[in-house]
Structure formats: C-alpha cells, structure tokens
Amino acid sequence: MSNRLDISVHRQTAFGDDGQLEVTETSVETSIEDFGAEVDHRDRESRLDQPAASEFGVDDRPEVARASEGDQSALFADFDENQQTLAGNEAAARCLFEE
C-alpha cells in the first residue's frame, strides 16, 4: 500500500496584472525566472560515477584516491577549559578570525 496522497485540482489560480488572484482554465507553469532569478541553462558535464557494492553487506568497491586536505585551519583555538584571555574572557570561545 502506498502512502502517497492523491491530489485533485479543482481550480487553479494565477496572479493577474493587478496583483489579484484569478481563476484560470488552463494549467499555469511558472519558473523562478518569472520572479527575477537568473537561471543557468547550460548543459552540465556529468559527474564521476560513484562506485557501489555488488551486494548488500559486501564492500567490494575499488579504492578511491583521496584529494588533498587543502589549506584549512581551525576556526577556534584549542585551549584548556579554564584558560582565559588577557581581558578575562574564556579563551576557548574566542574565534581565531575575529577582527
């Protein structure tokens, strides 16, 4: 048994030129472009296929080379719980990138 709800459309409305809702006889399709958003319609290149196991419970996927870690650093400093800054604040709660 499916848990899907059957939705029946009795009346479809759309905004008219005056901004009020008006009942329409035909189906109205809208896009986010209708609201001023820029949409890129270029064809995208396909992404790399992700390997999958041949059967449940067996991890026979090929090894995947990991990308480098990149240039990342911690957002908060690693301090003891009771360590304080010179101003008396908790040192562990101080963001390293504050101005």
Please state which of the ranges 20-24, 72-76, 95-99 shows the lowest mean pLDDT: 95-99
* Rounded Cα distance, 84 and 59, in Å: 48
CA-CA-CA-CA dihedral for 50, 51, 55, 58, to nearest 10 = -120
Q: Any residues with CB less than 8 A from the CB of 12 and at least 6 apart, and which?
A: 23, 24, 27, 28
Does 88 map to a domain?
A: yes
Confidence band (pLDDT; 50, 70, 90) for 98? low
The boundaries of the domain holding residue 78 are: 73-99
**8 lies in some domain:** no
Q: How many domains in the chain?
A: 1
Q: Which helix (H) or strand (E) holds 42?
A: none
Q: Is 99 a member of any domain? A: yes
